[in-house]
């Protein structure tokens, strides 16, 4: 008698990939594709055109197939991606649940096309820890920017305020962060007394992937060590020297945590640029959205219109001018990106010729 076959769509509970965050959703997604489950691995880190991948049992280095090298920026494998492998060649990327992205280096705020070159940096994320140190790093405007970025990609954020031990009473920082984060959990941590650890562990349960973003020195790697319970990540000056390439060891970006989930440390998010026309602004600036309901004009830009409830709130001190400026700045960036997206290729071409014609006209004028 032959053994009954395992139903196709059932997640195998002893699949080693489950340790890396493989889920039923992903399993269902690939059963529809011509993919053998034995050739799937997760990208642990990306370095100089090489990928460190794991299948839950072993880790090994791979290179991308030629087809992937020629793919658009956003289709290139990134940390957190589930990929198909043939020996040591990454042959494809399994459709992502979501991804975080950034503009090309230096493009932030610049109205250049490089700002539009979307580059994925981390994929398949359940929660993003926005890490901010309670030292010079603490900056509510930057926090708003991070929140908008994460909300835009539809990923739930958690604000983590590290180095709470630097203050006798850090609660004013907590309150300030909570005031701009609207319902987003804000957790204070410290390496000195381990506070915040238990609360954060909740997001790291089996099957979950958490990515950390924040400036260099914010305390991300220290937090990874605190949550892991051992020093698995280099911190402070040591991590800086790794960044400068003095060390040749492969840096792990995606860590398997004792809580069961995966933690992504520093997946290279230095520049933040907006790419998606998501509703990140609405979620981040819920207070401004609420005030705008009372503006006289439905399409009020809250810049100069009479009867603007938002400007009125700034006058009365209910809303800070800085926060409104921050909102306007991000709204303009997103508007610009949206307009570039919808501008059809022929319109761009037409404009180019208009400029050429203008140039010729000017030349003629000068030669007269
Ligand atoms: N006092 C204090 N210092 C911290 C804490 N967390 C991190 N640091 C320090 O902040 C510096 C940068 O930390 P690191 O984890 O390397 O930051 P990363 O660049 O975000 O990974 C290091 O010198 C850490 O020792 C904390 O909770 N309290
Ligand atoms: Mg670090
Ligand atoms: Zn208004």
Question: Hey, whose CA ends up nearest to atom 5 of ligand 1?
Answer: 163
Residues of the chain with CATH 2.40.50: 16-93
pLDDT digits (tens, 9 = 90+) for 11-48: 566 788 888 998 888 888 888 777 776 689 999 998 87
CB 278 within 8 A of CB 152: yes
> What's the rounded Cα separation, in Å, for the pair 251 and 45?
7
pLDDT at 274 over 90: no
pLDDT band at 193, cuts 50/70/90? very high
pLDDT at 123 over 90: yes
pLDDT attached to residue 249 = 45
235 lines ligand 1 (CB under 6 A): yes
Tell me, using a 6 A CB cutoff, whether residue 218 lines ligand 1: yes
CATH of domain 285-342: 1.10.40.50
- Report which protein residue has its CA nearest ligand 1's atom 14: 219
Q: How would residue 182 be classed by pLDDT, with cut points 50, 70 and 90? A: confident
**What DSSP assignment string belongs to 145-179?**
HHHHHHHHTT--EEEEEE-GGGSS--HHHHHHHHH
C-alpha R_g of the chain? 24
Question: pLDDT (tens digit, 9 = 90+) per residue, 295-337?
Answer: 999 889 999 999 999 999 999 999 999 999 989 988 887 776 6
DSSP 285: T
**Alpha helices by DSSP H, the chain:** 24-31, 66-69, 140-152, 171-181, 197-201, 220-228, 236-243, 280-284, 286-292, 309-316, 321-342, 345-367
Verify whether ligand 1 is closer than 6 Å to residue 219 (CB atom): yes
User: In the chain, which segments carry CATH 3.40.50.300?
Assistant: 99-264
Ligand 1 contacts CB of residue 225 (under 6 A)? no
Our answer on whether the CB atom of 191 is closer than 6 Å to any ligand 1 atom is: yes
- CATH architecture designation of domain 16-93: Beta Barrel (2.40)
For ligand 1, say whether the CB of 252 is within 6 Å of any of its atoms: no
Comparing 79-88, 209-218, 344-353, the range with the smallest average pLDDT is 344-353
Question: Which of ligand 1's atoms lies nearest the C-alpha of 131?
Answer: 20
Proximal ligand: closest to the CA of 227: 1
Whether 117 has a pLDDT exceeding 90, the answer reads no
pLDDT of residue 47: 82
Ligand 2: distance of its center to the CA of 138 in Å?
17
- For residues 266-272, give the mean pLDDT: 56
Q: Which atom of ligand 1 is nearest to the CA of 212?
A: 20
Q: Give residue 190 CA to ligand 1 midpoint distance, Å.
A: 9
pLDDT above 90: percentage of residues in the chain: 45
For residue 282, report the distance from its CA to the centre of ligand 3, in Å: 14
For residue 61, what are the β-bridge partners?
52
Query: Which residue CA neighbors atom 25 of ligand 1 most closely?
Result: 236
Structure token digits, residue 354: 């208009």
Cβ atoms of 299 and 335 closer than 8 Å: no
What does the pLDDT read at residue 41?
95
> Sorting pLDDT into bands at 50, 70 and 90, what band is 236?
confident
Closest residue CA from atom 9 of ligand 1: 219
d(CA 152, CA 147) in angstroms, rounded, equals 8
* Higher-scoring residue by pLDDT: 172, 107: 172
DSSP string, 185-196: -EEE--TTT-TT
Q: Which atom of ligand 1 is nearest to the CA of 214?
A: 20
- The confidence score (pLDDT) of residue 275 equals 53
Is 267 a pocket residue for ligand 1 (Cβ < 6 Å)? no
Q: Give pLDDT tens digits for 194-209.
A: 999 999 999 999 999 9
Q: Write down the mean pLDDT value for the chain.
A: 81
Shortest-distance atom of ligand 1 to CA 162? 27
| pLDDT tens-digit readout, 159-174 | 999 999 999 999 999 9
> Residue 170: CB within 6 Å of ligand 1?
no
| CATH, domain range 99-264 | 3.40.50.300
As a whole number, mean pLDDT of residues 119-143 equals 91
Work out the average pLDDT over 38-67: 90
């Amino acid at each position: 008698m032959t053994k009954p076959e395992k139903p196709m769509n059932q997640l195998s509970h002893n699949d080693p990939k489950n340790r890396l965050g493989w889920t039923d959703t992903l399993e269902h997604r690939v059963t529809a594709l011509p993919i053998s489950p034995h050739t799937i691995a997760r990208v642990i880190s990306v370095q100089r055109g090489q990928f460190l991948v794991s299948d839950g049992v072993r880790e090994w280095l791979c290179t991308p197939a030629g087809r992937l090298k020629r793919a658009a920026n956003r289709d290139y494998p990134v940390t957190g991606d589930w990929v198909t492998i043939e020996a040591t060649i990454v042959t494809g990327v399994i459709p992502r649940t979501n991804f975080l992205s950034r503009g090309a280096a230096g493009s932030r705020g610049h109205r250049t096309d490089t700002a539009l070159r979307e580059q994925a940096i981390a994929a398949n994320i359940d929660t993003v820890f926005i890490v901010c140190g309670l030292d010079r790093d603490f900056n509510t405007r930057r926090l708003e920017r991070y929140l908008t970025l994460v909300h835009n990609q539809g990923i739930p954020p958690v604000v983590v305020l590290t180095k709470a031990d630097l203050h006798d009473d850090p609660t004013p920082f907590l309150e300030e962060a909570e005031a701009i984060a609207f319902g987003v959990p804000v957790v204070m941590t410290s390496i000195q007394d381990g506070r915040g650890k238990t609360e954060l562990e909740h997001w790291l349960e089996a099957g979950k992937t958490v990515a950390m973003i924040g400036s260099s020195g914010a305390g991300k790697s220290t937090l990874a060590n605190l949550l892991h319970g051992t020093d698995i990540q280099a911190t402070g000056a040591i991590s800086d020297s790794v960044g400068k390439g003095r060390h040749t060891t492969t840096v792990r970006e995606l860590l398997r945590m004792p809580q069961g989930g995966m933690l992504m440390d520093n997946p290279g998010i230095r520049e933040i640029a907006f790419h998606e026309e998501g509703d990140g602004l609405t979620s981040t600036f819920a207070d401004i959205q609420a005030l705008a309901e009372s503006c006289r004009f439905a399409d009020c830009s809250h810049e100069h219109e009479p009867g603007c409830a938002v400007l009125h709130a700034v006058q009365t001190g209910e809303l800070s001018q800085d926060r409104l400026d921050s909102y306007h700045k991000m709204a303009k960036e997103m508007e610009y990106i949206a307009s570039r997206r919808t501008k059809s290729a022929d319109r761009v071409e037409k404009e180019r010729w208009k400029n050429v014609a203008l140039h010729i006209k000017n030349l003629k004028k000068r030669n007269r």
